[in-house]
Amino acid sequence: MATVASSRPGAPSFARRALRSDHLAGWLFVLPSVFLVALFSIFPIIWGFVLSLQKASLISPNRPFVGFDNYTRIASDPRAVKAATNAVIYTSLFVPTSIILALFLAIALNQRIRLIRFYRLAVFIPVAVSTIATGIMFLWVFDANFGIANWALGGVGLGPFGWFDSPTGAMPSLVIMTVWGWLGFDTIIYLAALQGIPQELVEAAAVDGASRWSTFRNVTLPLLGPATLLLVVWSTISAVQLFDEVYFVTKGGPLGATSVPVFYIYRLAFTSLYGFGAAGYAAAIAYVLFIVILILTLIQFWLGNRVVHYSS
Amino acid sequence: MTTIDLRADEMAPSAPTVLRGEIGMVERPRRRWLPFSPWHLLLMPVAFLMLVPFVWVIMTSLETLAQTQHFPPILWPGSFQLNNYPRAFSSVPFGTWFLNTTIVTVSVVLSNLVFCSLAAYGFARIKFWGKGIAYFFLLATLMIPVQVVIIPTFLIVKQMHLLNTLGALIVPNLANVFGIFLLTQFFRTLPIELEEAARIDGASRLKILITIVLPLSLPALATLAVIQFLWTWNDFLWPLVTIYKESAFTLQLGLMSFQGSHVNDTNLLMAGNVMSMLPMLLLFIAAQRYFVRGIATQGLKG
């Protein structure tokens, strides 16, 4: 089909055969997408590395090479260290909280009870709300003076809390807000996994006289392993890259308590807060973050695959 | 790992029912120690906590300014200030921002449906040189975090003179790898016999895609459309770095600037916020099964 040279008399011209060939047809179908992805994903990732070796600004075309200076600068930059520390704190609060809550909720939402459609909608619907709208909502709910959170907690003798305004409360408040926003997503993934569990296994355990708890512990939970591993990896990746909520709600404050890496990258590259010419340095931090995410993902999959059993 | 059968709708009643959007339920023998299922004791407070911010925001949007600045909070304003909504709408160019967001979102969704279908058909059905490696590279880009590419992509878009135009938001998002992956997986599950018969009858591949494959793929296309719609409508970081002219703002940027200028007009701010959320909330409620399926597919792509 794909022979190029053929001198048989009467054979269709090269162009005609090329048109009929699967190779050309295949490429014609995928080319628009491949071109777009190459231009807006693959090329930028190479250029991003080049930028990280330069003293670059986004306004000047003059970008002298500085070798690995941008990389060696990171470890001695207190703002970068602070951002990394905050990312670790946020991730270690957000990931376990959201996943454990989602597991309980998915099990509850998998029951045949009244109002279940309403419950599911209530848990899923924040997925449809943008981070800015969520931010406006929670700035108001957590308003130190007039918010209902302080009022409700005051009713049981707690608070008042400063929430986003307090250096110690800002990070937990951020965690509560983002868990609210992401819970639906995690719960849907657990629900899908729960419903992929063959009912025969659960029934067989019941026939063998296993208690509900024992069935859950020994049958259901191990079969949720792949979903859990996936959610751990996924939530870690998105937690390390937190940006919108920090930019809009806390602006990194108070006193840098919620400054996180992508927020710092944004400020370096796209604002003049730390002087112009910081885009190369920002690109270097972005690359380090990329490598950290890759390593974390690999470690999680490696550890996970020793614990998790894949069925079928 | 798991492959997902998106045709669960039509084909396989045994497939995970969440993929049908209709999430199935497990029957259990019941021991009644309460007049209702004990699960309500967990789910009722959870539903309350998830919904209370919405209710509170809606109530605030119907109050007078004085009522919003009252402690303890007024949970039920005696009279509803409905004119907060027209006031909020006309105080800033919400109409323009809404239109901008609609143009961007509709363009991106349509172009993704076209480009992803074409590419997915190529990957699912045609044998061609370099296919494996091209597909691998595409999927590998799913691993790339946005902050790594955002600075170079900004420079590319600047070079194309698209900054401060809606083009900056449309062009880099014309084709999305997640969509290609989703449709490729789906096309592979379709029976090939119909297509082969059409080939023998001399139909072109493009004609086969349009007249045979796509009509069979409506659930997958709907899933891609709603997920892409959600992403584009709610996107924030990319518009933030490429658009700084108010007339080209998206709803999210506009909402942010509205918040900045109305920090103390809480009632108007909440009215604007409710208006900004409403289209997406209505779409979510109307197309919940496709959102659920889209998210479940994202979950299974690892």
Q: Strand, coil or helix: what is A224?
A: coil
Evaluate whether residue A35 is within a structural domain. Answer: yes
pLDDT of residue B252: 95
Mind listing the pLDDT tens digit for each residue in B185-194? 999 999 989 8
Q: How big is the CA angle at A37 (ends A31 and A39), to the nearest 5 degrees?
A: 100
What is the Rg, in whole angstroms, of the alpha carbon atoms belonging to chain B? 24
Mind listing the pLDDT tens digit for each residue in B10-63? 333 444 444 444 444 454 555 567 778 888 999 999 999 999 999 999 999 998
Judgement on whether residues A22 and A113 belong to the same structural domain of the protein: no
pLDDT of residue A294: 92
Are residues B44 and A117 in contact, defined by beta-carbon separation less than 8 angstroms?
A: no
Residue B231 burial by Cβ neighbours in a 10 Å radius (0-12, 13-18, 19+): middle
**Distance of alpha carbon B2 from its chain centroid, rounded?**
23
Residues of A in contact with B60 (CB under 8 A): 140
Judgement on whether residues A115 and A172 belong to the same structural domain of the protein: yes
Q: What is the DSSP letter of A11?
A: P
Whole-angstrom CA distances from A200 to A106, A219, A220, B140 are: 20, 11, 12, 37
| Beta-carbon separation of B237 and A148 below 8 A | no
**Distance of alpha carbon B7 from its chain centroid, rounded?**
20
Residue B143: CB atoms within 10 A of its CB come to: 11
Evaluate whether residue A30 is within a structural domain. Answer: yes
Which of A193, A265, A279 comes nearest B147 by C-beta?
A265
Chain A residue with the nearest C-alpha to that of B265: A140
Chain A residue with the nearest C-alpha to that of B236: A244
Which of B40, B118, B177 comes nearest A37 by C-beta?
B177
Structure tokens at A23: 């190779």
Judgement on whether residues A164 and A22 belong to the same structural domain of the protein: no
Give CA–CA dist B219/B241, Å, rounded.
34
Judgement on whether residues A32 and A139 belong to the same structural domain of the protein: no
pLDDT of residue A15: 58
Q: What is the DSSP letter of A12?
A: P
Give CA–CA dist B249/B260, Å, rounded.
14
Evaluate whether residue A26 is within a structural domain. Answer: yes
**Residue A213 binned pLDDT confidence (cut-offs 50, 70, 90):** confident
Judgement on whether residues A122 and A47 belong to the same structural domain of the protein: no
Are residues B296 and A188 in contact, defined by beta-carbon separation less than 8 angstroms?
A: yes
Q: How big is the CA angle at A42 (ends A36 and A43), to the nearest 5 degrees?
A: 90
Judgement on whether residues A119 and A153 belong to the same structural domain of the protein: yes
Judgement on whether residues A144 and A21 belong to the same structural domain of the protein: no
Mind listing the pLDDT tens digit for each residue in A46-57? 999 999 999 888
Model ipTM value: 0.86
Evaluate whether residue A1 is within a structural domain. Answer: no
pLDDT of residue B7: 36
Structure tokens at B269: 């701010």
Q: Tell which phi-psi region holds residue A163, choosing left (phi > 0), alpha (psi between -120 and 50) or beta.
A: left
Which of A32, A58, A180 comes nearest B118 by C-beta?
A32
Extents of the domains making up chain B: 92-261
* CATH (residue range B92-261): 1.10.3720.10
Q: What does the H/E/C string look like for chain B?
A: CCCCCHHHHCCCCCCCHHHHCCCCCECCCCCCCCCCCCHHHHHHHHHHHHHHHHHHHHHHHCCCHHHHCCCCCCCCCCCCCCCHHHHHHHHCCHHHHHHHHHHHHHHHHHHHHHHHHHHHHHHHHCCCCCHHHHHHHHHHHHHCCHHHHHHHHHHHHHHCCCCCCCHHHHHHHCCCHHHHHHHHHHHHHCCCHHHHHHHHCCCCHHHHHHHHHHHHCHHHHHHHHHHHHHHHHHCCHHHHHHCCCHHHCCHHHHHHHHHHHCCCCHHHHHHHHHHHHHHHHHHHHHCHHHHHHHHHHHHHCC
pLDDT of residue B8: 35
Domains in chain A, number? 2
Judgement on whether residues A197 and A296 belong to the same structural domain of the protein: yes
pLDDT of residue A310: 67
Residues of A in contact with B266 (CB under 8 A): 140, 146
Average pLDDT of the residues in A81-89: 95
Beta bridge partners of A54: A65
Give CA–CA dist B169/B240, Å, rounded.
10
Give CA–CA dist B19/B7, Å, rounded.
8
Residues of A in contact with B299 (CB under 8 A): 188-189, 192-193, 227, 230-231, 234
| Beta-carbon separation of A109 and B73 below 8 A | no
Domain that holds residue A23: 14-51
Judgement on whether residues A32 and A75 belong to the same structural domain of the protein: no
Interface test with A, best of B18, B94, B117, B176 (most A CBs within 10 A): B18
Average pLDDT of the residues in A288-304: 91
| Beta-carbon separation of A151 and B129 below 8 A | no
| Beta-carbon separation of A130 and B131 below 8 A | no
Chain A residue with the nearest C-alpha to that of B180: A33
Judgement on whether residues A24 and A85 belong to the same structural domain of the protein: no
Average pLDDT of the residues in A91-103: 96
Judgement on whether residues A266 and A294 belong to the same structural domain of the protein: yes
Whole-angstrom CA distances from B92 to B86, B169, B191, B244 are: 11, 22, 53, 15
Beta bridge partners of A65: A54
Residue B187: CB atoms within 10 A of its CB come to: 23
| Beta-carbon separation of A137 and B54 below 8 A | yes
Give CA–CA dist A193/B144, Å, rounded.
26
Which of B23, B151, B277 comes nearest A129 by C-beta?
B277
CATH of the domain at A206: 1.10.3720.10
| Beta-carbon separation of B50 and A183 below 8 A | yes
Q: How big is the CA angle at A51 (ends A46 and A52), to the nearest 5 degrees?
A: 100
Judgement on whether residues A170 and A206 belong to the same structural domain of the protein: yes
Are residues A308 and A225 in contact, defined by beta-carbon separation less than 8 angstroms?
A: yes
Q: Any chain B CB within 8 A of the CB of A120?
A: yes
Average pLDDT of the residues in A86-110: 96
**Distance of alpha carbon B125 from its chain centroid, rounded?**
28
Torsion of CA A233, A235, A239, A244, to 10 degrees: 130
Mind listing the pLDDT tens digit for each residue in B219-262? 999 999 999 999 999 999 999 999 999 999 999 999 999 999 88
Structure tokens at A302: 């490696």
